Structure 1
Amino acid sequence: MRQLEAIRNDVNNRVSSLELQGETCLQQVRYLLDNVSSIEGEVARIVDDYERSRCLGGCSINFLCINRRAILKEIASASGQEMPHTSELVGRESNLEEVLRYLNDDQVGIIGIWGMGGVGKTSLLHSINKVDFLSLQEGNSSNSVLGGQRRAMFHHVIWATVSKDYTVTKLQKEIAKRLGMPSPDNEHESEQATAIFNHLKFKNFLLLLDDLWDKVDLGAVGVPIPSRRPTGQHKHKVVFTTRTEQVCGSMGAHKKIKINCLEQQDAWQLFQDMVGPDALKSHPRIQSLARQVVKECHGLPLALTVVGKAMSTRKTPNEWQDAIALLRRSKFPEIPEKDEDLFPRLKLSYDYLPDDAIRKFFLLCALWPEDFSMKKTDLIECWMGHGLIDVGGFNDINEAYDRGHAIIGKLKSACLLEPGFNEDDEVQMHDIVGDMARWIASDGDENNQKLIVQSGATFCRSPADLNVWATAEQVSIIQSEIKEFPGAPPECRNLVTLMLPQNWHLKLIPSNFFVSFPALSYLDLSGTRIIKLPPEISRAENLQYLNLSFTDVTSLPESLRSLTKLKFLLLRGLQHLTEIPPGVISKLSILEVLYMNETRYEHWVEFETLTHGLKALGITVETVEAIERLSQLHHVMMWRLRIRNLLDLRHPDDQLLLSNFLSSHNMSSSLQQLTIEDCETLEELIMEKGRETAGHGGDIVNRNWRLPKLEILALVRLKELKKISWRGLHPSTYFPTLSILRIIGCDKLENVTWVLKLEYLEHLELHACRQMERVIDDADDADAATDLAFPSLKTIKLMQLPNLTAICRSQSTFPSLELLLVIDCPALRSLPFNSETPKNNLRIEGERDWWDRLEWNDGDLESSLRPCFRRGLDFRGLLRKTMFAAIQMSEI
């Protein structure tokens, strides 16, 4: 008891000292001090019992020993260190429960908590530190000190803030201080590590490390490294926070917990706590205005806290309306006091990116407006067009895209990008992160108009509206209501990037428009309704990237040949383009990417003059001769090939022997997307193992082929196609990376059983195949049926299949399936799932009456799948949209 009294006195002294510094004593510390008083009373009673027992002529030694053990267990119980007071943990209860569950799991020793700056990771760690781990004891528990044996979960709970200036010595000193160990200044790291290790190795401890930016070498510090499978009886746990998922990997985290922004209700609760009732009740309108402020903070706790505190003194609607306007114009820094700056705190994530190159990648993400879900391919092409990914330095375009996806992964790991609406194919920036990026691009000066990003409203009503472009380096106007430019902007000598995509009302570019942009190198006009490109485009002589995809352009101007620095020419989906003047393509001598997949083009000799070598060609061909000519252009890497309206099939019985056309190196080595459509007489598509055949001039040609980069295969409107044959080859061997298969309008195709052999297939889409009865017919291919059917399949879309009665004959697990979409398949009365099919991430979407007509052999399966079902809202609109996207073959 005397030992415990000394500890209480030391704690009381420390509490008094810290309270004088303005800090708040945690309830847990008060609880510890109160427990000391309680134990003091128990000791007094034990002594009293002993004295009375002795006076009565006996001594209950057993009773005394039991009480002594109980008291010592109470003394040994762990408590976290006292930390400065933080706001209540709002909306993080489930995260805290998850951490506590892992702390009780002997298979989990290291837990990484990660998320974007300001999302509440440190607050969660504080909450863990506050937990009374005595109440989470192992073994038989009792609240009474006279009860059964108790063993504290942790003898030590140790808090250490690591931060960017971490060193082994500094961390050792902090841990030693927390443990009450001496830490002489002249002691070597290894000696201190040995001392810490010896102190902790036979103890239960929880080490809480806040704000990691790099790997912490626990062994060098002296911390016993927690094992996933501990062999001893001691509980060793480490929980750390970081902004990057990469640190979770380098630390060997057994479990990773990502902290996301708050849901709207939790965000509102936190904001109310920060503002306080005085401001919120000062005027009847302020409640509704405050909810608008919360919406603009987009669930980020740091923003809610900083803005909430700033608004706590503002009690008129005008002040709140002004704050809303500032937030909508991305002017966060003007709301709080200077010492509460939001962007500089978030900017640490940007500063700590590996190098300037990846910082440039990140800043280009700011070209898209807030709440915009960016297609990964669009973002990667933007990086390519700005020269951040040098396509010329890769063997083919697919390797350049791989690099882009790797960069996206790094930015997601740093919480500077997050999954978009379609998680597989899109990303987006949290709106406040986007605001920060634009703030950085403007050198921290809101009035510095280097980057202009606009969307939604009508712009450029008069020539004066274009004056703001004069000092800009990048201008992005996306999905606006602009119909035409009122004239040419003033001279914009610094403008390098002009993005005008998806402005569906924009029909005209003024003839003198491009005179104003002598430095322009990146121009995106995709998704506009322009009919022609003015001849003055030649004045943008530094242009390297030109995107005219999905416009109404009918012809290209001859002046385009003057753009001799052009490396990227994207002409996707130009259904109205009928003319590319001869000689234009051949003059663009350093083209690296040429995509003209909807455009008929037969000036093959012009490709032969591109001596620099195309890294990617996307093109449509309609004759066998055209395919053979293309296969002879060995320096041109085929990227996307559409075979359409092929009437001169040079094979008997209307068969297409695909290997004849895909065996040349430039066809097979880099082909990423293959579409075969509108070949109306085609009855059988043959995939045959290569063989030696006679070529031109009697030469023997080896027809071995393989498509190692093919990701997308589409068969569209092959009305007579009855069979897809595989002769002497295994689909996964020849299509090792095929992940997307679309089959549309193949009315006579009865099944696609062979897809079971595509082990990496992720998306299967079947539309308007009127005679299809089963997707998988096991009887047709016994070898195809396996216990682990579709190991990678994430999405199945079945639309307008009137005779489809079953997806497959037997039930299967579908271990990776996330979405089954069923539209207009009235005969489909059963689902292929079984009790082992994972249902946590599964969504089933379809019409309500279809779901109600399903027949079930297993009532438990029906009840387990019912929560997965979602009724679609507008299936006709979705059908039109999906069919259009599939037929146009725009990237997924």
Structure 2
Amino acid sequence: MCGLDGDRRTLERHLLAVECKLANAEERSETNGYVKSWMKELKSIAYEANDVLDDFRYEALRRQSKIGKSTTRKVLGYITRHSPLLFRFEMSRKLKNVLKKINKLVKEMNTFDLESSVRKERQHPWRQTHSKLDDTKEIFGRDEDKKVVVKLLLNQQDQRNVQVLPIFGMGGLGKTTLAKMVYNDQQIQEHFQLKMWHYVSDNFNVVALLKSIIELAGNKRCDMPDTIELLRKQLEEVIGQNRFMLMIDDVWNENERMWEDDLKPLLCSVGGPGSIIVVTTRSHKVASIMQTLRPLKRECLSEQDSWELFAHKAFSNGVEEQAELASIGRRIVNKCGGLPLALKTMGGLLSSKEKVQEWKAIEESNIGDNDGGKYEVMPILKLSYKHLSSEMKLCFAFCAVFYKDYEMEKDRLIQLWMANCFIQEEGTVDLVQKGEFIFDELVWRSFLQDCKMHDLMHDLAKDVTEECASIEGSSQQKALLKGVCHMKMSKAELQRSSGLCKGRTYLRTLLAHAKHLRYLDLSGSDIVRLPDSICMLYNLQTLRLIDCQNLQQLPKDMARLRKLIHLYLFGCDSLKSMSPNFGLLHNLHILTTFVVGTRDGLGIEQLKDLQCLSNSLELLNLSKIKSGENAKQPQSEEKSK
């Protein structure tokens, strides 16, 4: 690329500088609106710059995939849309444009002194010693509360009408935790013939709630039309006269008419004597609207229980409980105001800090100050977020792309982190292993709860990034921010959103084709044949085609996807053969299915060069193996287990 290499190197250097500036300006942006605006613009240009470098990488991969074409076609290439001359001209223009933008912002930064003093980030070694804890081991001071609720519910056995018990209190008090303790209690298990759990949050929809209850009670999918009268009859049929307990978690809707006129007549007219609905909510008004039993207000933990919960986190990961640290820790616990989520998060944060001065710095932070007896958990969560490594911040903030209470698959989440370059290689630790370290660390610090997020943590993730969006309805489409880079939407929403992403050059995660795409999930679709255009996604790392039951054929040029690491073909029962020359995909770590073919380039010998394969591999059509010699070639015993 004669004439461009100098500009490209300059851009790479500038991007490293930009990364440093963003890290230094982050803290100041929270209190300075001008810095925040400047930082947002700098982030946008950083994405634009990264896309320019991505164009170089993409073109290199495209040309590599074309090696071996005839001389005539190479000559013709100079006068087509893929002409090296046209590419050089276009990239020269893009490079100069983005460098001009970066230089302008850096000059503005120097003029107005926007950069704060350099803040060195302490890097903590990745630990492999801790594993995910059983949640029951982290519950302190709630046994008495559980006994009270269980006794109250069992005492309603002679009530002919369905009773409603609200559990309310501010976020982070452990309302859902208490509800789970009650739900799984042995006496409750034996007392109720039907037990159902439904999470609502912001989406308090009558039809959705009825369908969920019908599915839970009948243990099968409800495909009925959205007609209230039909759903009412089906509800009566599946519940009958069974004594049931229904947990409705995280209710926000304060529309009294919706409860009194729509839901209460339906839910409170079914089931046998002693049936119960338990509601968790932050709103006292919701509790007042739905109650038939006196609402149970969640109280903060006692001083002793607070200390035990905090110490369980802070001193169980290699940090010794020294007298001075314990003294500082008790003052920090007092700032947490007895809020379990705050205590767990702060304990997880301090479990990585061994020096007294580090603990004192946390103590002196402006967090959780008592304002008229009211404690807030969000400032504490934000402080804990600040102390995450830059990689962990990116990985956590990305989770805002999922809906509230979305159950994230660990492997899939790590693949998305990898696809977006949030994880950097470190020594001999590969990206997958590093991703697992980050996931476990986020769980340990209570930013994730196994494969879900507490709704307050979801609020925090949305608060710290404007680059992720989950589209839950067409009404939200107009509100999409210009800087969104990661978007999640359902198949129906994607179909309704044609043209929605026009001009969004920075988009990295979406079910759509783009040359910058690293991750593509078409699972469960009715596709019969993948388009050949997929083979132009040279940057693609993960392709998920799980349960594409009608898929018969893969594109013939899939061997071009040299960056492909994960290919999921579970449930592709109609797949007749692989693509030719599959053995060229040397980076494949996960290949779930291989269909043996008879033509050249389709035989089982294609597996012999895939030395990075791990996990399980399903081999189909073994009867088509031509000879015993071919069967020996894959050398499966030499591959990773």
How would you bin the TM-score normalised by the shorter chain?
Answer: 0.3 to 0.5
Whichever structure has more strand as a proportion of its residues is 1
Which protein is bigger by CA-based radius of gyration? 1
TM-score normalised by length of structure 1? 0.25
Name the structure with the higher helix share: 2
Higher RCO (CA 8 Å, separation ≥ 6 residues): 2
Q: When the two structures are superposed, what TM-score results if normalisation uses the length of structure 2? A: 0.35
